[in-house]
A and B are shown apart, each in its own frame.
Chain A
Amino acid sequence: MADDLIARVELRPAGGPPRAVALSLGGDAFPIAVLFGPSGAGKSTLLRCIAGLERPAAGVVRWRDRAWFGAATWVPPQDRDVGFVAQQGALFPHLDVADNVAFGLAALGPAERARRVAEVLDRFDLAGLRRRAPATLSGGERQRVALARAVARRPSLLLLDEPFSALDHPARAALRADLRRWVRALGLPTLLVTHDPAEAMAVGDTLVVLDAGQVRQTGPVGAVFERPCDAATARILGVDTLVAATVLRAGAGTAVVRAGDGELTVSAPEGLAGRVRVCVRAEDVTLRAGNPGAEGNGAPGRVLRVDDEGAFAVVSLDCGFPLVARLPRRALRALGLAAGDAVFAAIDPSAAWAVADG
């Protein structure tokens, strides 16, 4: 029984244009596949169609060897055997924590149900909160209860719709790590929707980049973030600078490109030629003060402006092309950089990645 998920749906909302969203995942995408994309990409819609909370006008939804939706098939959400966690958790306000978790276990006998509730509450560190009302819980606690409630039924597929987006930063970070630990321990295939790159990185195994209803790229999370397949995907993934360049010489996995007035050695896929964009993350740019003729891979330039970003500073440069560097504020102070200063922006060839322009 392979963990194959296919969801190709078309929706025709009243008073809106029709939309199509398609996704196909093989078993190697799990345990945690992350559906990532800008708002409006169709992530949540797709998740709701998979859960059976939305009924598409046409299409197919299949999980493992079962069709959940098709031309003549409609399986209601009750019979889909999924766990679903919404942004705000959707805990039943009139039931305490233990009763919320027990809600989905109606089919079990009382003894077995009590045993399962205790087990799940323990696993999610909620035993101390079992008689608390949801309204008295913190946001992080509520999401943990929602997760415990969804998992208690031992569903075959766990669907999480931006489950941490309503939380403040420390709670979010803690819950991400917990989620990864729990889901891996349970071996439960999980599809998580998010528009937060940090969340995708922290939680996911596989990253699916969705834009305007279409999958742009699928792959291991780290690989997709470091090696986006094209310029549009790079923008969605939050790459800070996309340098317009032309390929001069291409080698095995690398290429020499002309960018502005200089040359750069960058990583590149096989067979890349012509006009390209070089993806450079601001963290991967190293600045050296003055010394415009410095040795190494990079480009001389001038500081346009310096912006504070908490512990980091963001330096905008003109190197014949616009470039952004992010460095710790201490490092910036050591360099003593200000607007107008000459600098050399060093770029590690392995950290710069060229993609076809488009």
Chain B
Amino acid sequence: MDWNALALSLRLAAVTTAILLALAPPLAWWLATTRWRWRHVADALVAMPMILPPTVLGYYLLLALGPRSPAGALLARLTGQSLPFTFPGLVVGSVIYSLPFAVQPMRASFARVDRELVEAAWCLGASRLRTFARVVLPLSRAGVVAAAVLTFVHTLGEFGVVLMLGGNLPGRTRTVSVAIYDQVQSLDYAAANRTAGVLVALSFALLALTYHAQREGTPRWPTT
């Protein structure tokens, strides 16, 4: 059992979830409400990481963040380090990889909020931001919880992006799924079993929590 790898994965998942909880709500709200004619393009872009093979995503991120790309060079100058094969690099990859898992549940919840409630808030003098914070978000609690848990679990289990972008540096970029891969490669099936078991249990517990949160969702109007 590679506890270092598990701790690193948990840390990566927590940081990724925290960042996406800040980034995804405005993006999801925009997608749910915009009447922009190219909104389907934005929808497709956000959904891309869901269907792209993780190795492909990881490969492009490696190129984009590497020292030979303009963006990578700029980042390296600003931060004093190159992102690939570091924890911050993994965070960037995970945020992009898990973006659809954060945005989609929120977008669906936001779209279900009755437009009349939003309009009522506006007529009561609430700015768009206050309307979002005081009306839309509280009524979308289940969707936000689902987004957080899905992001966390999805990041916990990622493999391809991590391997391409982070490599396999123990204590720095070796996540739990990479550790399992290593254990199998070295024919240590007992260790692989234990690590995989912990991951399954953890993922299941978190998903069960999500469904519980959705069941406990904000009461809706009685449908008459």
Binding site for B on A (CB under 8 A): 51-53, 76-78, 80, 82-84, 86, 88, 90-94, 103-104, 106-107, 133, 135, 149-150, 153
> Quick check: is B81 within 8 A (CB to CB) of the other chain?
no
Knowing A93-B220, A94-B139, the reply to whether A103 touches B124 (Cβ < 8 A) is: yes
Q: How far, in Å, is A154 (CB) from chain B's closest CB? A: 11
Least CB distance, B99 to chain A, in whole angstroms: 28
- Given that A78-B127, A106-B126 are known contacts, is A92 also in contact with B116, CB under 8 Å in the complex? no
A84 x B220 contact (CB < 8 A): no
B134 touches A90 (CB 8 A): no
Knowing A92-B135, A94-B138, A94-B139, the reply to whether A86 touches B120 (Cβ < 8 A) is: yes
Other A-B contacts than A53-B119, A84-B120, A94-B139, 17 sampled, CB-CB below 8 A, are: A51-B123, A52-B122, A53-B122, A77-B119, A78-B125, A78-B126, A83-B123, A84-B119, A84-B123, A86-B116, A86-B119, A86-B120, A93-B117, A103-B134, A106-B130, A107-B125, A153-B124
Identify the closest chain B residue to A135 (Cβ): B219
Residue in contact with A149 in the complex, picked from B124, B139, B218, CB distance below 8 Å: B124
Look across to chain B and name the residue whose beta carbon is closest to the beta carbon of A139.
B224
Residue from the list A52, A83, A93, A103 in contact with B121, Cβ < 8 A: A103
Residues of A within 8 A of B126 (CB): 78, 103-104, 106
Asked if residues A90 and B221 are in contact (CB atoms below 8 Å), the reply is no
17 contacts between A and B (CB under 8 A): A51-B123, A52-B122, A52-B123, A53-B122, A78-B127, A83-B123, A84-B123, A86-B116, A90-B114, A90-B116, A90-B120, A94-B218, A103-B121, A104-B126, A106-B126, A135-B221, A135-B222
Please, which residue of chain A has its CB at the minimum distance from the CB of B222?
A135
Complex Cα distance A104/B219, Å? 22
Whether the pair B123, A133 counts as a contact (CB closer than 8 A) is: no
B123 touches A93 (CB 8 A): no
How many contacting A-B pairs (Cβ < 8 A)?
65
B120, B121, B139, B221: residue with the most chain A Cβ atoms closer than 10 Å: B120
B113 → chain A closest CB, angstroms: 10
Q: Is the CB of B122 within 8 A of A78?
A: yes
* Nearest A residue (CB) for B135: A92
By a CB distance below 8 angstroms, the chain A residues around B135 are 92
Contact of B125 among A86, A91, A92, A106 (CB under 8 A): A106
**Nearest residue in B to A133 (C-beta to C-beta)?**
B219
Residue of A nearest to B134 (CB): A103
Measured in the bound complex, the distance between the Cα atoms of B79 and A347 in whole Å is 94
Q: Which 10 residue pairs of A and B lie closest in terms of their CB atoms, listed nearest first?
A: A104-B124, A84-B123, A90-B120, A90-B116, A77-B122, A94-B138, A53-B119, A78-B125, A77-B123, A86-B116
- Which of A90, A135, A153 has its CB near the most chain B CB atoms (within 10 A)? A90
